[in-house]
């Protein structure tokens, strides 16, 4: 059974870019961004970031966990390091993150490729991250999130610091947007759409919003496409029964997972 519409939950501007790519494939998509990225602005948080940036030349390796981490880190680095120090190895989780580094003329040493899971587990298999005893490593990330990278690298003997640059919050307009979207499916009617959630946090926020909007039961009837087994397990815990698992959160992998639900497309565009 195919569905006729897609609900995009990722933050802007990625949501609109994803919508445009889906339109090129002939797929109609609506956007209810369930997460927005806000830079940390509290004085203590900004001072902590500044301390990491000022000591940037002391690190042997720097890991960026997302494209947002790259953007926010570069904003700070541009203020204090007009020319980046030499001798640092850079790592990225995911092709999109790696591309953001390359756009800034920074070459990542390792990443999760398009045909592999783009996650911390994949990055930790890199040969360059095995023998890191006594090395200083900086992880550029958002507030909260998983500690697997820091814990594993610390266990391997590295001195690891984490630089929280931003936080992920629910947009103020998201609840009203979701209410209007849910009006397409009155109570008791199955949701004729497929949800795409590029992260576990987006999916959790969507469920929170749907519960507040009184439409959770309807939402849970929809198929959902998520990246990786960890987010798939979360989707089932949240109550989704029709879960399709993409290999990773990259556009190509997510499109492949959508294809059986929406019909064939040219994934090489």
pLDDT digit string (tens) for 45-93? 999 999 999 999 999 999 999 989 999 999 999 999 999 999 999 999 8
Question: Which among 108, 140, 168 is the end of a domain?
Answer: 168
- The two tokens of residue 18 are 């994803």
Residues 195 and 157 in one domain: no
For 173-183, the pLDDT digits (tens) are 999 999 999 88
Cβ atoms of 59 and 85 within 8 Å: the answer is: no
Question: Which among 152, 168, 184 is the end of a domain?
Answer: 168
Residues 59 and 11 in one domain: no
Residues 80 and 157 in one domain: yes
Cβ atoms of 242 and 223 within 8 Å: the answer is: yes
- pLDDT at position 240 is 95
Reported as a pLDDT band with limits 50, 70 and 90, residue 5 is: confident
- pLDDT at position 162 is 97
Residues 49 and 162 in one domain: yes
Domain-located, residue 268: no
Max mean pLDDT range (25-29, 61-65, 120-124, 254-258): 61-65
Residues 80 and 131 in one domain: yes
- pLDDT at position 265 is 43
In this predicted structure, the answer to whether residue 267 has a pLDDT above a threshold of 80 is no
Alpha carbons within 13 A on the beta-carbon side of 105: 3
In this predicted structure, the answer to whether residue 139 has a pLDDT above a threshold of 70 is yes
- Give how many domains the chain has, as a whole number: 2
Mean pLDDT to the nearest integer, 156-163: 97
What is the average pLDDT score of the chain?
89
The residues near 15 (Cβ < 8 Å, ≥ 6 apart) are 8, 9, 31, 33
Share of the chain above pLDDT 70, in %: 90
Reported as a pLDDT band with limits 50, 70 and 90, residue 1 is: very low
For 95-120, the pLDDT digits (tens) are 888 889 999 999 988 665 555 666 88
Residues 190 and 240 in one domain: yes
Residues 65 and 136 in one domain: yes
Q: Which residue stretches of 55-173 are H helix?
A: 67-80, 95-103, 120-124, 148-155
Residues 213 and 111 in one domain: no
In this predicted structure, the answer to whether residue 235 has a pLDDT above a threshold of 90 is yes
Neighbours of 1 (CB within 10 A): 6
Mean pLDDT to the nearest integer, 206-234: 92
In this predicted structure, the answer to whether residue 188 has a pLDDT above a threshold of 70 is no
Domain of 13, in residue numbers:
6-35+170-262
Domain-located, residue 1: no
CATH of the domain at 142: 3.40.50.10090
Domain-located, residue 112: yes
- pLDDT at position 112 is 55
Residues 201 and 161 in one domain: no
Residues 55 and 125 in one domain: yes
């Amino acid at each position: 059974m195919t569905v006729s519409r897609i609900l995009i939950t990722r933050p802007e501007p990625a949501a609109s870019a994803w919508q445009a790519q889906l339109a090129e494939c002939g797929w109609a998509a609506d956007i209810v961004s369930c997460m927005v990225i806000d830079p940390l602005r509290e004085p203590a948080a900004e001072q902590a970031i500044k301390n990491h940036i000022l000591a940037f030349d002391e690190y042997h390796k720097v890991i960026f966990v997302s494209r947002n981490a790259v953007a926010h880190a570069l904003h700070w680095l541009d203020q204090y390091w007009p020319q980046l120090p030499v001798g640092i190895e850079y790592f990225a989780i995911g092709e999109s993150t790696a591309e953001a580094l390359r756009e800034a003329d920074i070459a990542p040493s390792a990443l999760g490729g398009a045909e592999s899971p783009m996650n911390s587990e994949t990055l930790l298999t890199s040969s360059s991250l095995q023998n890191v005893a006594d090395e200083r490593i900086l992880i550029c990330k958002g507030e909260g999130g998983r500690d697997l990278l820091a814990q594993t690298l610390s266990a391997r003997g590295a001195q690891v610091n984490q630089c929280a640059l931003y936080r992920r919050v629910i947009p103020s307009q998201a609840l009203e947007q979701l209410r209007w979207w849910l009006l397409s499916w009155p109570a008791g009617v199955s949701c004729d759409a497929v949800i795409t959630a590029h992260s576990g946090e987006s999916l959790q926020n969507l469920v929170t919003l749907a519960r507040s909007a009184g439409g959770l039961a309807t939402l849970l009837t929809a198929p959902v496409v998520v990246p990786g087994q960890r987010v798939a397990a979360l989707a089932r815990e949240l109550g989704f029964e029709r879960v399709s698992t993409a290999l990773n959160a990259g556009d190509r992998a997510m499109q492949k997972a959508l294809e059986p639900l929406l019909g064939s497309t040219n994934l090489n565009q």
